[in-house]
Amino acid sequence: MSTQERTSIVWDYAPAPESPDHVRLRDSYGLFIGGEFRDPLDGERVRSMNPATEEPVAEVAFAGERDLRAAVEAARAAQPGWAALSGLERGKYLFRIARLIQERARELAIVESMDGGKPVRESRDVDVPLAAAHFFHYAGWADKLSYGVGGRAAAPLGVAAQIVPWNFPLLMAAWKLAPALACGNTAVLKPAETTPLTALLLAEICQEAELPPGVVAIVPGDGAAGAALVRQPDVDKVAFTGSTAVGKDIQAALAGRGVSLTLELGGKSANIVFEDAALDQAVEGIVNGIFFNQGHVCCAGSRLLIQESVADVVIGKLWERMGRLRVGDPLDKNTDVGAINSREQLERIEELVTAGEGEGAVRRTVACELPERGWWFAPTIFTEVAPAHRIAVEEIFGPVVSVLTFRTQAEAIEKANASPYGLAAGIWTDKGAKAFEVASALQAGVVWQNTYNHFDPSAAFGGYKESGFGREGGPAGLRPYLRVS
């Protein structure tokens, strides 16, 4: 039977919206300081918007300078008592937080999607379960700290200031808080301006878990609040996830102060497809690598390197697969690609895509109906990309993949490493030896083989070069929160 004779299957999906009805958000949230929600001293109240509807979800207090000082003071006051608890006792609190995240999983997933625009399928299946898993994982480490640092004596650093971005608001909060608390530190966490809500629900969970007051503070705020937080004189540790530009600013601000610093910054990760790979499987991995969370992923496989001999086949299959991605309502359980997180981010994506076209790369964007309100960008692929093009070098942080080709293994490695970043990489091949050889030559903190964007709380995550330093996850994630002697 020729392909023309086969019945074509049209996948029609009825809408399957997740109802936000049972979500009990407050109209307005205070700052979580000293174990209670407080009115800001010198901050303001701001509405957090749903990027899919441009409607407010809830009002949130933003911290001012005095609020930040109060949060750090409360964390400082709570730290000796928290550190004095046995590791077993601290672990019990973390375990409780993990269980409460699981109990409120549906609510957290819906709020994450409403506040940030990501498909509820991802919030439900990835963000929330992984956030709980991080607390479970570090609950287990709390009474075994010295085993995590090669049998040496380990003591907490003190008060940690933690700043997280808008792409994985709850998950990044878990990545930061769980190891800090397990090690006996207290923490002041600033969520991103556009996505503060699930961190505030996590504050409620800390209350429900009866975490001692002051051990965790959640202080939403804008970039200026982040800058002020890292400059507070009484912090011992700063942990930041976000853009390389801000990471550099923080590093400069902390220079000479003896404050421990972890930076998890941007990336332009290479996803390398060799001719001997299982190509259909690779295409699924490419899709997951770049269209997961609208490409708002620091380790997104945004530079697709395909061996020349299979480039046309892979691009053909990828384009066909892209056409089947469903873009739209983040609360619909069928949605693959949700809303862009903010107007500013949409403008950034559009600017870089325009630059790509201007520099001569060939753009193809999936034709799909986009909702009238909200911020959207349809899945896009660029071919004929030269290594010097901006779209091959700069982090687009959107659903846009740039394709480059290579002929030999050596050329693949050279092109993959030709980046100021070094966060992650993917290798698609059916030859195990080749995968190991290439992986050991790549300058990337995480290398996935025949998979992509695969996260586990027991695995270390972090970068090289301009992607930052320090590791999060697993026993390696304890070290940045401990003084080891």
> Hey, which residues are catalytic here?
264, 298
C-beta closer to ligand NDP: residue 162 or 405: 162
CB 441 within 8 A of CB 413: yes
By CB under 6 A, name the binding residues for ligand NDP: 163-167, 190, 192-193, 222-223, 226-227, 230, 241-243, 246, 249-250, 265-266, 298, 345, 348, 395, 397
C-beta closer to ligand NDP: residue 201 or 246: 246
CB-based closest residue to ligand NDP: 226
C-beta closer to ligand NDP: residue 277 or 396: 396
Q: Nearest approach, Cβ of 80 to ligand NDP (angstroms)?
A: 27
Sheet with 424-428: strands ordered across: 362-365, 380-383, 400-406, 303-307, 270-273, 424-428, 446-449
C-beta closer to ligand NDP: residue 46 or 83: 46
SS3 428: strand
The DSSP result for 434-484, as a single string, is HHHHHHHHS--SEEEES--S---TTS-B--EETTEE--BSTGGGTGGGEEE
CA 28 – CA 56 distance, rounded (Å): 11
Q: Nearest approach, Cβ of 62 to ligand NDP (angstroms)?
A: 9
CA 408 – CA 5 distance, rounded (Å): 39
Q: Nearest approach, Cβ of 205 to ligand NDP (angstroms)?
A: 20
SS3 425: strand
Dihedral angle of Cα 167, 170, 176, 178, to the nearest 10 degrees: -160
Q: Nearest approach, Cβ of 249 to ligand NDP (angstroms)?
A: 5
CB 441 within 8 A of CB 233: no
CA 42 – CA 120 distance, rounded (Å): 35
CA 263 – CA 367 distance, rounded (Å): 38
Closest CA to 260 of 158, 164, 177: 158
Q: Nearest approach, Cβ of 300 to ligand NDP (angstroms)?
A: 9
- Most distant CA atoms of the chain, gap in Å: 76
C-beta closer to ligand NDP: residue 206 or 400: 400
Question: How many other C-beta atoms can be found within 10 angstroms of the C-beta atom of residue 455?
Answer: 16
C-beta closer to ligand NDP: residue 183 or 239: 239
Question: How many other C-beta atoms can be found within 10 angstroms of the C-beta atom of residue 365?
Answer: 15
Q: Nearest approach, Cβ of 152 to ligand NDP (angstroms)?
A: 31
Q: Nearest approach, Cβ of 451 to ligand NDP (angstroms)?
A: 20
C-beta closer to ligand NDP: residue 113 or 241: 241
Instruction: Say which residue the tokens 């409780």 belong to.
Output: 96
Instruction: Say which residue the tokens 């030896």 belong to.
Output: 433
Environment class of 335 (CB within 10 Å of its CB; exposed 0-12, middle 13-18, buried 19+): buried
C-beta closer to ligand NDP: residue 209 or 337: 337
Q: Nearest approach, Cβ of 291 to ligand NDP (angstroms)?
A: 16
| DSSP E strand stretches across 14-130 | 28-29, 31-33, 36-38, 44-50, 55-62
Closest CA to 445 of 462, 457, 469: 462
CA 471 – CA 130 distance, rounded (Å): 17
What's the token pair of residue 235?
């912090």
